[in-house]
A and B are shown apart, each in its own frame.
Chain A
């Protein structure tokens, strides 16, 4: 059984002040297998984030439905962890308490909480920062905590909405490698929204290219580059070939969206 099944999902936002309604997504069908790493690539405003939010249960589709592990999505839940583009750490909690947030809600015993928190602090290279407040961290560190917080909850699916969009290029590269390493160790189904072509190829087993608004799936590309991957791959001919192809696709859509 496929892990995530999106069936005829569309989303129309009602018009503001008597204006025309906005069709953000035209009906989309998409099937994601378990433990796949799927990137969703599209120009800004193409509805890719809307699609991700619908899978997360944070937004309702106008038509169609999303099935996760055979069950219809009716709202957000801990089985689908999410990392947002904006920094969404709880500013009143320390890094460690942020990571433990989901565990607390589930009532995991304190000793086990600490064990899990320490594990993910280590995994994201933040062991020394457990007692810091989010405002004391750089943007890249904050997003690492956000990833650790989502993973600590042990979700089946990790949803990432342009998580590295606000980071500088170097940090972004390191974060991509970190995320890949975590995924290779941990095996989760990942849906990763981005407008960065290189990022979409570098991370993915499969890249979905979306059209300009109203968003549709324009291409569904298998990225059969070898794993494990590191930054050397970014300059390899194989990746550049994918990049060339997707650049054409995205460019055409970006022009339409202008």
Chain B
């Protein structure tokens, strides 16, 4: 194979799907072949069967809806707070000097470690779930947005100044549009992380949601349901990622190579 040579669209789809096929095949061999005991890993058929029961008899679609709402709620809260702060930090160095050390520190605080504290503060209601995602996402977004805005090409900024742009105008008309596609990419990335946080939040003190179902199924040793839950998360992640990517592409055609 020659390095960096592109592959046709058709070949890419075939290759991408074939890994899923291989994955299910290995899984089937391991379970149907009796290499793994059903108590540890359900068969694919059993998983689909359990999934069907979850959806039709246990109202699992409600859990999915709850989880999706929590992810987006926490993510939107984090975005609304973090993006403006990140932009200000990227544009104005004193503001960066003020926030940056704390945000860099806070970024390494694991969101899951806050769960006991957040239960104490916010109870076990929705706000607590949203706050876990918020804490997990907000510092990451701030730092990455600040870097994106701060790395704007200097010559573009200078060109804007020589065209009579003021300081505020440079932020609005150069830094922001220049960083916008990168900010959109950052949000896409962090939305993926938010999915990890939401499940962790739902594992503890929760009465609904995909994570809650997984904990319940564990108690019943129902690995088929657990795997179905995990696959649902993966699928929703994949769909939202595709949607985000398509949105970014249509909003910022100029930034594509």
Contacts and interface: CB of A to CB of B under 8 A. Distances in A.
Q: Do A and B bind each other?
A: yes
Interface of A: 56-58, 75-78, 80-82, 84, 86, 88, 90-93, 101-102, 105-106, 133-135, 146, 149-150, 153, 159
Contact of B163 (A78, A86, A92, A134): A78
A134 B153 CA distance: 15
Contacts of B178: 90-92
Contacts of A78: 162-164
A150 B161 CA distance: 11
Chain A CB within 10 A, most for which of B178, B252, B254: B254
Contacts of B66: none
Interface of B: 153, 155-156, 158-166, 169, 173-174, 177-178, 180, 252-255
A101 B255 contact: no
B164 A153 contact: yes
A105 B156 contact: no
Given A58-B158, A90-B177, A102 B164 contact: yes
Given A58-B162, A80-B162, A88-B155, 10 more contacts: A57-B161, A76-B162, A77-B162, A81-B162, A88-B158, A91-B178, A91-B255, A92-B254, A134-B254, A146-B159
Contacts of A105: 163-166, 169, 173
Given A90-B177, A92-B178, A150 B162 contact: yes
> Top 10 closest A-B pairs, CB basis?
A78-B164, A102-B163, A76-B161, A82-B162, A88-B159, A92-B177, A92-B254, A88-B155, A76-B162, A86-B155
B177 A76 contact: no
B238 to A, nearest CB: 29
B123 to A, nearest CB: 45
Contacts, number: 70
Contact of A88 (B156, B173, B177): B156
Contacts of B162: 56, 58, 76-78, 80-82, 150, 159
15 contacts: A80-B162, A82-B158, A84-B158, A88-B155, A90-B160, A90-B174, A90-B177, A92-B180, A92-B255, A105-B163, A105-B173, A134-B254, A135-B254, A153-B163, A153-B164
Contacts of B159: 82, 84, 88, 90, 146
A56 B157 CA distance: 13
Contacts of A153: 163-164
B252 A92 contact: yes
A113 to B, nearest CB: 13
Interface centre among B163, B169, B255 (most CB of A within 10 A): B163
B154 to A, nearest CB: 10
A18 B160 CA distance: 33
Contacts of B253: 133
A159 B166 CA distance: 19
A86 B164 CA distance: 19
A47 to B, nearest CB: 18
A80 B163 CA distance: 8
A233 B252 CA distance: 46
Contacts of B158: 58, 76, 82, 84, 88
B177 to A, nearest CB: 5
Contacts of A90: 156, 159-160, 174, 177-178
Contacts of A88: 153, 155-156, 158-159
Contacts of B163: 78, 81, 101-102, 105, 149-150, 153
A82 B161 CA distance: 10
A90 B252 CA distance: 13
Nearest to A77: B164
A75 B158 CA distance: 11
Nearest to A76: B161
Contact of B155 (A75, A84, A101): A84
A102 B158 CA distance: 13
Nearest to A53: B158
Contacts of B180: 92
B194 to A, nearest CB: 28
A30 B170 CA distance: 31
A88 B153 CA distance: 9
B159 to A, nearest CB: 4
B225 to A, nearest CB: 48
Given A84-B155, A84-B159, A105-B173, A91 B164 contact: no
